[in-house]
Structure 1
Amino acid sequence: MSRLRFALDPKSVAIIGASENPNKVGGRPVHYLQKFGFKGKIYPINPSRTEIQGEKCYKSLADLPEAPEMVIVAVAGDNAIGAVEDCAKAGVKIALVMASGFGEVDAIAGKAKERRMVEIAHKHGMRIVGPNTQGLANFGTGAIASFSTMFMEFERVEGHVAMLSQSGALSTVPVGFLNPRGIGVRHSHATGNDSDITVGELAIAVAEDPEVKLMLLYLESIPEKKYLEELSEVALHRNLPIIALKSGRTDAGKAAAQSHTGALANEDRVVDAFLEHHGIWRAPDMRGLVEATELYLKGWKPHGRRLVAISNSGAVCVMTADAASTVGMPMAKLAPETDKKLKGILPSFATTTNPIDLTAALLSNSRLFGDILPVIAEDPAADAFIIGVPVAGPGYDVPAFARDSAAFAQQTGKPLVVAATQPSVAREFQAQGVSVFPTEVEAVTALNQYVSHHELMARVKARKRGPSSSLISADKTEMLNEADSLALLASHGLPVVPYRLAHSRAEAEAAFDAIGGKVVVKGCSADIAHKSELGLVKLGVASREAVGEVYAEMEEIIRKQGSRFDGVIIAAMTGGRREIVIGAHRDPVFGPVVMVGDGGKYVEVFKDTTLLLPPFTRDDAKRALAKLRIAPLFEGVRGEPPMDVDVLVDAMVRIGELMADTSAKVMSIDLNPVMLNTNGCVVVDAVVFKGE
C-alpha cells in the first residue's frame, strides 16, 4: 500500500466542516473513526465550536498542531475548492472531497473546476479522492473516512473482502449483502468522479494488502486501461480473484451513468473482452457480484468442473442436472467401481448414477450422506459437489448431514455447495461453515462462476505476458485500395485469394490467362469502400474478351464517380463451406480489438461474432470460435467433414499480431468474407485503414 498509503492508512485525519451531529456529512467521519477504532489523531475543524463529539475542535487548518496526512473536505460547492487549495499549501497528503456539483452535473464547467483542484494539489504533491465521493473505509485500520449510512448499522466485522466503486452507494450495498451472512469487508471505498485518484489506481494499492482475498469492483466507466492492467498483474501474482460489475450495458444505462458520475461510455462488448483478457470476472448484476463470495474465501483449489449432485429428491436431481447443463458444468460419469460401492450402501430403489437420488431412505438412515461421500470422493471424475436438501425436519438428523458434509469438504479440499430452501436446514449447514443457497440453480450458478473464474485466471497466468498493446491515434486515416489491402495481409502471412491488379485492358486479359478458369473482376479505388452497390463486382467472368469488356465498364464507372482509378482486380473464383468475417479496430481506451464471427452479407443481421484483445494465443482464438452460435458447424454435421479451424485460428492470430504492431499504423481491418473450407481458408475481400 506504499503508493497510496496516506489514503488507506493515514496516521492523522482532519475533517473540514466537522459536525457534532453524527447523522450529518461532516459528523459521520468523526463518529466512524471513533467507533471503528482508528488509532491515529482526529482533528475536527469548525470555526463555531471548541469541541466536536468529544474531540478538540479547531477553527481552521492553520490552527492544527501538525499537517494532517488526510483531510476530509465536507464543505459544499466552491468552498471545497478553496479548502483543497489550503490543504495543498499546508502539506496535506490526501484530500478527500465529498462535495458534489462538479463534473457529474456539468461536463464543461464542472470538469474545469475538477482540473483546477487537481492542478493545485499536484503542484504541492497532494492527491485528491473525489469530488462527489462518499469516502474511504479501511476496517483493518479503523480509518473510516466516509459518510455512508450503511456503517451505522453494524459493528466492526473485519474480513477479507475489498469493495471499490466509483459510486458511493455501490461501495456499501455489497457490505449490506455480505454482513448478515457473516462475511466481513475489510475495504469499502468510493472514488466518486475519479478526478485524480481513480478506482483502478486505488484498487492496485488495496490489492497489495495481504489480508484481502477477494476484490469486488463497481465501474461506471473505464476512462483508461493502464491501472486495471496493472491491477490484473498484481492480482494474478497474488492469486487474488477480482469480480467486476460494469454498468452501462444498454444505451439507457450509459445515459444514466453519464448523469451520475460524468462517466464516459465504453463499448460494452469490448469491456467484456478486456476484462476476460486480464482474468477479471464480469458479473451481470449485483447478485452476481456478491453471490459466490463465500466460495472464493474457502481456499479451495479446483482442478476441474465435473459435477456430482446428491439429493433426497429425484426432482431436485433432475433440476440440478438441467442447471449444470445450462452453465456448462458436465455431470461427472462415475467409475463402475464407484457405482458398485454405492449399490452396496444405498437401498435398491435409490439411484446410484449421477445425479444420485437417496430418496426417502435418508429419513430412516441418517448415515447415508456420511457413508457415500467418501466413496464418491475417491472417484477421479468427481471435481465438485452439490447436495440438495429441499425438505427435511423431524426424523432427519440434519446436524449429522451438515457435519458429514463439512468434514468431507475439509478432507477433500474440493468445492461443495448445498441447496436448502428451509431456513432451519440452511442454518445447520451454515453453522458448519458450508455454503448454502436457496435453490439448486443459485448453487450451481455460483459454483460455476467460482470454478470458471479460477480456470480463467489460470489461462491468463499461463499466457505469455507480453507488453500491453500501445494506444495509437492518427489525426488522419486513409483507406487502402483492395489490392494494397490484400498485399499488406499477404505480407503478414494471411492466405489471400490469387489476384492480379490490371491497369489496362490488355493487362486484365493477361491476368485472366495467368489465373485460369472463371474469375472475379472488381473495380479498385481507394475512394470506394462498398463496390457492389456501384456495380464494381462481377462474378464468374469466363473469357478474356469478357474480362476486357468488364475492365472498360468499371474504369468508366469509377471515373464518373470522380474517384481515383487504381485499376481493376482480377481474382480467382473461390468458394467455401462457410463465410467468416474477421475484423479489427483500435478502441480509444483499450487499444486493438479483433472480431471474428459468421460473415457474409448478413453479418450485421445475425450478429454472431465475438471479440479478442491482442496479444492472444491460438488457444484463446479457438475458445473465441467455440463461443459462436455457428461453432457446431465447424465439426461437420450430417456427415460433412470438419472445417479447417486451425488455419482460421492462424489467420486470427496474425491479424492480432498486425494490430499489435504499432509501426504498421493499421487502424482498422475488415475481411469479409474469409472463405473457410475443409482444407484451408482464404481472404477474398479486404478493406484496411491506416493512419498517416
Structure 2
Amino acid sequence: MDTQTSAQTGGRSGLERFFAPRSIAVIGASANPAKIGARPLAALKTNGYQGQIYPINPNYDTIGGLPCYPSAQAVPGPIDLAIVSLPAPLVPEALRDCAQKGVAYAVVFSAGFAEAGPEGAALQREIERIVAESTLQVLGPNTAGAVFHHTAMVASFASTFMSPPVHQGSGIAFITQSGAFGVYVYNLAQQLGLVFDYYINTGNEAGLEVADFLEYLADRSEVRAVALYLEQVRDGTRFRRAAERCFRRGIPVIAVKVGRSAEARRAALSHTGALTGAEDVYDAVFRQSGVVRVDGIMELLELLDLVVKNAMPRGRRTGILTSTGGGGAWMTDLCRQAGLEVPEFVGPTREALEAVLPQFAAASNPVDLTGQMYTQRDLFRRCVAILARDPAIDALVLLSGGDPETVGVGVPETVVEASQSSDKPLLVAWVGAPDWFYRKLGAAGVPAFR
C-alpha cells in the first residue's frame, strides 16, 4: 500500500459532472451493434439518459439518428464525459483532443496498457502525462466503465447494463478493480435481490482511483454502504481518510481484498498491472479506518443485505434461539470469533423463559428448544416474543432447520411480527427450508440465510 499522498488530488472528489453529466460523447462510436463502441450508445438510450449524446467517429455522418462528429473538438456544445472505445495506440491522441476541448472526464474502455507489457506501459505513461498536464480526469484504461442508475449514466459496454434495473434506491455503491469479475458480482447481487446504485470499475487507474470515488461517496446522502473489490490501494493516506469519513457518517465500507498468496499477487499484476502489498499492512489500515474485510463474495453480499434491510445491530450483544444444542454451540463460536458477545439472560427475560420452557431445557444463551419445538406448538412463538423484547441484547439469531411447517405455528409470520415490533434485528439461519420460506422473509425485510 502506497501511503504517499498523490500530487493530483485537487478537485477529484467533486465528481458530480462524472455521475450526472449533462452531455456524453462516445469516441469510437459505431453503428454496428456487435462493436463495443455501439454498446454505450444503446445503453444510454434504453436506460433513459436525458442529456446530450454525441457520437464521435470520422467514418459516419449519423449513428442511430444522432449527428456524428469527427473529433471531440468538432462537437458544437460542451462535453462533461467522454467514453473512449479505440485501439490502445489511438487513445492518447483522443485524450489530448478531449483535454483541448475542455472535457471534464473520460472513461477509457481500451485494454493493452500497463497490463500488457512494456509497450502498453509506455502508452499508459502517456495517459498519465495528459492527466497531469490538463484538467481532464480519466477512469481507466482497461475498465468496464461506470454506472449511476439515478441519472441513467451508463458508461459501460457490459451487457448487464443494457437495460435499467427493475429496482433502484438500495443506496449501495460498488467499486471494483476488476471489470468482468465486478460485473459477475453485480449480476449475482441482482439474483439475490440487491441492486447496486453505483457500479465503478477503476481499471488500471492511470488517473482516477479507488480513493477518489470513496471520498466522493462518503459525502453522498443516498449512499448507505460501499462495497469494494480490491487488488491494491495506490494512495493509502487518502484511502484511509476517506474510509474514516465513511465510518464517522455511519456508512459501512465492506471490502474483499485479494493478494494473500503469491499466486494471487501475480494474477493481479497480469490483470491490471497492479502490485499488491503486505497483507498485514492492509489488515491494520482496514481496522484503523473501520473497513470490514471479508473473504468471500457471498459474505460481502450478505452483509450488504443486512444494510439494505436495516438489520445492522446497534451493539455486540447477541441472543441465540435454536432447536439444536450442537447448532447453538456452533453459532456461539461464530459470534465470539466475530467479536460479538453472547450474554446470559437475566431478570425478567430469564424468568419468562423459565415459565414456558420444559423443565429439562435451560433458560441460558443460547436457548435450546430441543425437540419440544415440534411438539409444544406455541413454544417457538412465545420464546421469540420474549427474546425480541429483551433490552439486554442487540440482535437475535434464530437457528433451526427442516420444514418450518412442522413447528406448528406460522414461522415466517411469527418472525415478521416479532421483527416489526422489536427495536433489534432478527436474523434467521434456517437450514433446508423450502424456497418460499426465504422469499417470504426477505420480502418482509427479514434477513434469512440457508
| TM-score using structure 2 length | 0.89
Larger radius of gyration between Structure 1 and Structure 2: 1
Number of the residue aligned with 1:431: 443
AA in 1 matched with 2:229: Y
Kindly state the Cα deviation for residue 393 of structure 1 after the two structures are TM-superposed: 4.8
Kindly state the Cα deviation for residue 303 of structure 1 after the two structures are TM-superposed: 4.2
Q: Is the 8 A contact 1:77 1:100 kept in 2?
A: yes
Change (3 A) 1:317 1:300: closer
Q: Is the 8 A contact 1:77 1:99 kept in 2?
A: yes
CA distance in 2, matches of 1:24, 1:349: 70
Change (3 A) 1:117 1:336: closer
Q: Is the 8 A contact 2:147 2:154 kept in 1?
A: yes
- Structure 2: where are the runs of 5+ without partners? 1-11
Kindly state the Cα deviation for residue 418 of structure 1 after the two structures are TM-superposed: 0.5
Give the CA RMSD over aligned residues.
2.5
Match of 1:189 among 197, 200, 211: 200
Kindly state the Cα deviation for residue 225 of structure 1 after the two structures are TM-superposed: 1.4
CA distance in 2, matches of 1:287, 1:395: 29
- Where do 1:140-539 residues align within 5 Å? 140-152=150-162, 155-158=165-168, 159-299=170-310, 302-348=313-359, 350-363=361-374, 367-396=378-407, 400-420=410-430, 421-422=432-433, 423-438=435-450
CA distance in 1, matches of 2:218, 2:278: 26
CA distance in 2, matches of 1:242, 1:301: 13
CA distance in 1, matches of 2:237, 2:18: 20
Kindly state the Cα deviation for residue 301 of structure 1 after the two structures are TM-superposed: 6.2
Kindly state the Cα deviation for residue 32 of structure 1 after the two structures are TM-superposed: 1.6
Q: Is the 8 A contact 1:335 1:379 kept in 2?
A: no
CA distance in 2, matches of 1:366, 1:58: 73
Q: Is the 8 A contact 1:222 1:264 kept in 2?
A: no
Kindly state the Cα deviation for residue 226 of structure 1 after the two structures are TM-superposed: 2.7
Kindly state the Cα deviation for residue 364 of structure 1 after the two structures are TM-superposed: 5.4
1:17 to 2:28 alignment: yes
- Structure 1: where are the runs of 5+ without partners? 439-692
Kindly state the Cα deviation for residue 149 of structure 1 after the two structures are TM-superposed: 2.9
Kindly state the Cα deviation for residue 47 of structure 1 after the two structures are TM-superposed: 2.9
AA in 1 matched with 2:75: L
1:138 to 2:140 alignment: no
CA distance in 2, matches of 1:38, 1:23: 22
Secondary structure of residue in 2 paired with 1:217: strand
- Where do 1:655-674 residues align within 5 Å? none
Kindly state the Cα deviation for residue 150 of structure 1 after the two structures are TM-superposed: 2.8
Number of the residue aligned with 2:129: 119
Kindly state the Cα deviation for residue 186 of structure 1 after the two structures are TM-superposed: 0.7
| % identical equivalent positions | 32
Q: Is the 8 A contact 1:312 1:359 kept in 2?
A: yes
**Pairs aligned (count):** 436
Deviations 1:527-576 (A, max 9, x none): xxxxxxxxxxxxxxxxxxxxxxxxxxxxxxxxxxxxxxxxxxxxxxxxxx
| TM-score using structure 1 length | 0.59
Deviations 1:449-468 (A, max 9, x none): xxxxxxxxxxxxxxxxxxxx
CA distance in 1, matches of 2:341, 2:217: 36
CA distance in 2, matches of 1:350, 1:428: 30
Deviations 1:20-79 (A, max 9, x none): 344532122112212222121111223333443444433433432213111101011211
Deviations 1:161-181 (A, max 9, x none): 100122212332331222122
AA in 2 matched with 1:238: R
Q: Is the 8 A contact 1:61 1:87 kept in 2?
A: yes
Q: Is the 8 A contact 1:403 1:432 kept in 2?
A: no
Kindly state the Cα deviation for residue 136 of structure 1 after the two structures are TM-superposed: 0.9
AA in 1 matched with 2:291: I
AA in 1 matched with 2:205: D
Secondary structure of residue in 2 paired with 1:388: strand
Number of the residue aligned with 1:67: 78
Q: Is the 8 A contact 2:362 2:368 kept in 1?
A: yes
CA distance in 2, matches of 1:34, 1:74: 18
